[in-house]
Amino acid sequence: AARAGGTGSLAGRRVTISAGGTREALDPVRFLGNRSSGKQGMALAEAALAQGAQVTLILAHAEVAAPRGCDVVRVESALELRDAVLGALATTDVLVMAAAVADFRPAEVATTKIKKSDDGADPVISLVRNPDVLRDAVIARASLAEPLVIAGFAAETGDASADPLTHARAKLARKGCDFLVLNVVGSDLVFGKDSNEVTILDADGSASGPVRGSKRVVADAVIDHAARILSR
């Protein structure tokens, strides 16, 4: 149903989008990062704004600027991103997890710059698992008063054990979110590219797509899908 405050399928609705790649500190000057450009997240923010939503962008490191008109919460690490996402849930109608969240972080963060050692030994960096923010959001949703649509992204390759769709369906079941936007990754990486091809997988097992086109075309399809789930 349409709401007061504008037009569009998400008029009066609040959309939270996580975007960019997290950076996991090693010491005051170094981090472990990833190649996420943040472009898909920005396109999602634009698409949600175009549908009349009030948009909060929880933004890790990105190569592109946030679109005008959204509230930006800057974060660095996966732990910061989790706090920001969980903190936004009570005032959110749709959460889209487009951020590339590091699966691991250094077990210890040195408070001073790590120096080359005198004994010539090669350093070893121990890693620990980061929380699964998407999964944590799904768990937190259970105690919210209002409905919340939660979507995730997944880039999958086929391997000896299963094809990309099978991997994605298993991931969707593990995460427990409403839908997963599946990118089938071939030898040419999606990171940094301006176009995309995705399939939207629903919790009920149905698949729609493929959606082919710019990241904005993909974003429009994702936002449209979320708006439809919200209104049913």
Distance of closest approach, residue 168 Cβ to ligand CTP, in angstroms: 9
Q: How many angstroms separate the CA atoms of 230 and 120, rounded?
A: 59
Minimum CB distance to ligand CTP smaller for 101 or for 184 = 101
Is residue 210 part of an annotated ligand binding site? no
Distance of closest approach, residue 42 Cβ to Ca ion, in angstroms: 21
Nearest position to Ca ion, beta carbon:
103
Answer yes or no whether residue 153 interacts with ligand CTP by CB under 6 A.
Answer: yes
Minimum CB distance to ligand CTP smaller for 36 or for 52 = 36
Answer yes or no whether residue 183 interacts with ligand CTP by CB under 6 A.
Answer: no
Residues that are catalytic:
34
Among the listed residues 210, 203, 205, the one whose alpha carbon sits nearest the alpha carbon of residue 229:
203
Is residue 31 part of an annotated ligand binding site? no
Minimum CB distance to ligand CTP smaller for 155 or for 217 = 155
Is residue 131 part of an annotated ligand binding site? yes
Is residue 113 part of an annotated ligand binding site? yes
Helix (H, G, I), strand (E, B) or coil at 222: helix
Per CB under 6 A, which of residues 121..150 are in contact with ligand CTP?
130, 132-134
Answer yes or no whether residue 218 interacts with ligand CTP by CB under 6 A.
Answer: no
Minimum CB distance to Ca ion smaller for 71 or for 103 = 103
Q: How many angstroms separate the CA atoms of 17 and 8, rounded?
A: 18
Contact 149, 178 (CB under 8 A): yes
Beta strands 195-202 and 179-184, pairing class? antiparallel
Residue 116, judged by CB atoms within 10 A of its CB (0-12, 13-18, 19+), counts as exposed
Q: How many angstroms separate the CA atoms of 37 and 191, rounded?
A: 6
Torsion of CA 139, 145, 147, 153, to 10 degrees: -30
130 touches, from ligand CTP, Ca ion, none (C-beta below 5 to 8 Å by class): ligand CTP
Distance of closest approach, residue 171 Cβ to ligand CTP, in angstroms: 6
